[in-house]
Amino acid sequence: MSNLKNVQLATATNITTTYAGEFAGEYIAAALLSASTIDDGGLTVKANIAFKEVIKKLATGNLVSPASCDFVPNSSVTLTERIIQPVELQVNLQLCKYDFVNDWEAQQMGYGLGQSLPPKFSDFMIAHVAAEVAQNTEFCIWQGDTAAASNNSFDGFEKLIAASAAAGDIPVAQQVAAVGGGGLSATNIIAELSKVVDAIPSSLYGKEDLFIYIGSAAAKFYVQALGGFVANGLGANGVNAQGTQWWNNGSLTVNGVKIFVCPGMSPNKMYAAQRSNLYFGTGILNDTNVVKVLDMGDLDASNNVRMVMRFTSAVQFGIASDLVEYA
């Protein structure tokens, strides 16, 4: 792609642009991988799945036994497989250039001396759509449901994990019933998070990439509780007697387990899992990827711009028995 930095573009200029295959991958990656759960490092990303991929996990029993002269197999090997198959998705959007030109011109001016300028108007439009795709992807990572009327791009973890729990793949001791009534609150969040920690198998507790994944609302309740704003919190002054100032958007932990905040998750659900057991799959280099900005001025003399984006996405987990579900 050529360097079009500092191009001055009037609204009458034709801005038709097409990227395909690996050239579209840069824009697809910017859209999909900017979803909060992915961008903040909460998932293992498989970025170059052409069609589908088998996730294989190997588990063994007790390998060590007393020595003997004979070869006696003393352990079992269990190989589990799950399939991650990204589904084909698209964005078809028509916009009027007049609705965006003021915002684009503001970016062209920059925020100060030496500020880099956007390469061209079509890239500005792609960036706008990419931000919307990232937000949709974040939601679908957790709450996606292909059977629903909306937010149905692909099945999210909430649906996939619930199906495995119903099938008995997740041990009963690791299925924690969510609190009833009004759901999670600042009053009960510490107790409910502790239930999730208690359900984590001893073989997983202490793993470097182990997280408890919670939604934004639950995170706010936890911050409030640790700030001393509820009866069973840490007292009126909260953590280190700092009150409202104790937390400055840093990391959160509970009983030795790191907390990962997922804006796309349902308010009253939580999950414990290793990052290496949760996958997001896409095909950044797929030949079917397309990012196109089509200026309709040459076709119908309008000021409309049509945008087309085609890509693939899916999520999957590896070992169901290594998950804890709070739902």
Distant-in-sequence contacts of 233-240, Cβ < 8 A, 24+ apart: 233/186, 233/190
> Residue range 28-44: average pLDDT?
85
Q: Report which of residues 28 and 245 the model is more confident about.
A: 28
Asked if residue 286 has pLDDT above 90, the reply is no
Domains of the chain from N-terminus onward: 17-59+74-107+114-326 (3.90.1690)
pLDDT tens readout for residues 185-237: 999 999 999 999 999 999 999 999 999 999 999 999 998 888 776 655 555 56
pTM over 0.75: yes
Q: Which of 261, 250, 314, 303 is nearest to 101 (CA)?
A: 303
Could you give the percent of the chain with pLDDT greater than 90? 42
Query: Bridge partners of 166?
Result: none
Task: Fill in the amino acid letter for 34.
Answer: S
Yes or no: say if 219 and 267 are a contact pair by the CB < 8 Å rule.
no
pLDDT-based confidence at 181, cuts 50/70/90? confident
Residue spans of alpha helices (H) in the chain: 22-32, 36-39, 101-109, 121-143, 157-166, 189-199, 216-226, 297-300
CA 5 to the chain's CA centroid: 32
Q: For 77-121, what is each residue's pLDDT tens digit?
A: 777 788 999 998 888 988 887 776 666 665 654 544 444 444 567
